[in-house]
Structure 1
Amino acid sequence: MDSDFIERIQNITLTKEEGEVIKVGGTHRDKILEECSLCLLGHFLTTRSYNQGAAKSLIRLVWKMGSDLKIVDVGSGLFQFKFALESQLKWVIHNGQGSFENHPLVLRRWERGMTASTVTFNSITLWVQVWGLPFDLMSEEACRDIGGGLGKVVEIDNKAFSSEQARFVKVRVELPLDKPLRRSGVVANPEGDKVRVGFKYERLVRFCY
Structure 2
Amino acid sequence: MEELTSNWNRLSLSDREGPGCCLEDDLSFHELFLAAKFLTRRAVNVDAIAKTFTPLWRSRNGFQVRNLGNHMVLFAFDNMEEVEKVIQSEPWSFDKHLMILEKYDKNNSMEELQFKRTTFWVQVHGLPIKFMNVRAATKICEVLGTVLPSTNPHEYEGGNFVRIRVSLDVTIPLCRGRLVSIGRDKEVWVSFKYERLPNICYWCGCFDHDDKDCEKWLNSFYKSRQSVSSQPVPQSQKEQEKSCPTSPVQARSSTAGADWTDSMSPERITELVQNGKPQSVTNHSQQFASCTSPSVT
**1:141 aligns to 2:135 (yes or no):** yes
1:56 Cα deviation (Å)?
2.4
1:194 Cα deviation (Å)?
2.4
1:31 Cα deviation (Å)?
6.7
1:101 Cα deviation (Å)?
1.7
- Give the match's secondary structure for 2:138: helix
CA 1:96–1:201: 2 relative to 1, 3 Å: closer
User: Where do 1:86-125 residues align within 5 Å?
Assistant: 86-111=80-105, 113-125=107-119
CA 1:113–1:84: 2 relative to 1, 3 Å: closer
Residue number in structure 2 paired with 1:197: 190
- Per-residue deviation, residues 114-159 of structure 1 (Å, max 9, x unmatched): 3344432121111111111111110010122122221001135743
Residue number in structure 1 paired with 2:159: 166
Structure (1/2) with the larger strand percentage: 1
- Per-residue deviation, residues 38-82 of structure 1 (Å, max 9, x unmatched): 211112222233544222211112111154322221222211111
1:87 Cα deviation (Å)?
0.9
- Give the match's secondary structure for 1:88: helix
Separation (CA, whole Å) in 2 of partners of 1:120 and 1:198: 29
Considering only aligned residues, what root-mean-square deviation do their CA atoms show, in Å? 2.8
- Give the match's secondary structure for 1:80: strand
Separation (CA, whole Å) in 1 of partners of 2:155 and 2:75: 34
| Equivalent pair of 1:147/1:172 in contact (CA under 8 Å) | no
User: Where do 1:170-185 residues align within 5 Å?
Assistant: 170-185=163-178
Residue number in structure 2 paired with 1:188: 181
Matching residue's letter, 1:39: F
Separation (CA, whole Å) in 1 of partners of 2:50 and 2:106: 25
Separation (CA, whole Å) in 1 of partners of 2:28 and 2:108: 12
| Equivalent pair of 2:125/2:192 in contact (CA under 8 Å) | yes
Q: TM-score scaled by structure 2? A: 0.53
Structure (1/2) with the larger helix percentage: 2
Mark the structure with the bigger radius of gyration: 2
Percent identity at matched positions? 29
Residue number in structure 2 paired with 1:130: 124
1:29 Cα deviation (Å)?
9.5
Separation (CA, whole Å) in 2 of partners of 1:81 and 1:97: 16
Q: Which of the pair has the greater relative contact order for Cα pairs under 8 Å at 6+ separation? A: 1
| Equivalent pair of 1:130/1:168 in contact (CA under 8 Å) | yes
Q: Which runs of 5+ in 1 are unaligned?
A: 1-26
Separation (CA, whole Å) in 2 of partners of 1:186 and 1:199: 11
CA 1:100–1:186: 2 relative to 1, 3 Å: same
| Equivalent pair of 1:128/1:173 in contact (CA under 8 Å) | yes
| Equivalent pair of 1:152/1:175 in contact (CA under 8 Å) | yes
Separation (CA, whole Å) in 1 of partners of 2:67 and 2:42: 17
- Give the match's secondary structure for 1:149: coil
CA 1:116–1:29: 2 relative to 1, 3 Å: farther
- Per-residue deviation, residues 159-202 of structure 1 (Å, max 9, x unmatched): 3776xx5222111110012221111211234x244211111111
CA 1:66–1:73: 2 relative to 1, 3 Å: farther
| Equivalent pair of 2:118/2:167 in contact (CA under 8 Å) | yes
Q: Which runs of 5+ in 2 are unaligned?
A: 1-21, 206-297
- Size of the aligned set, in residue pairs, is 179
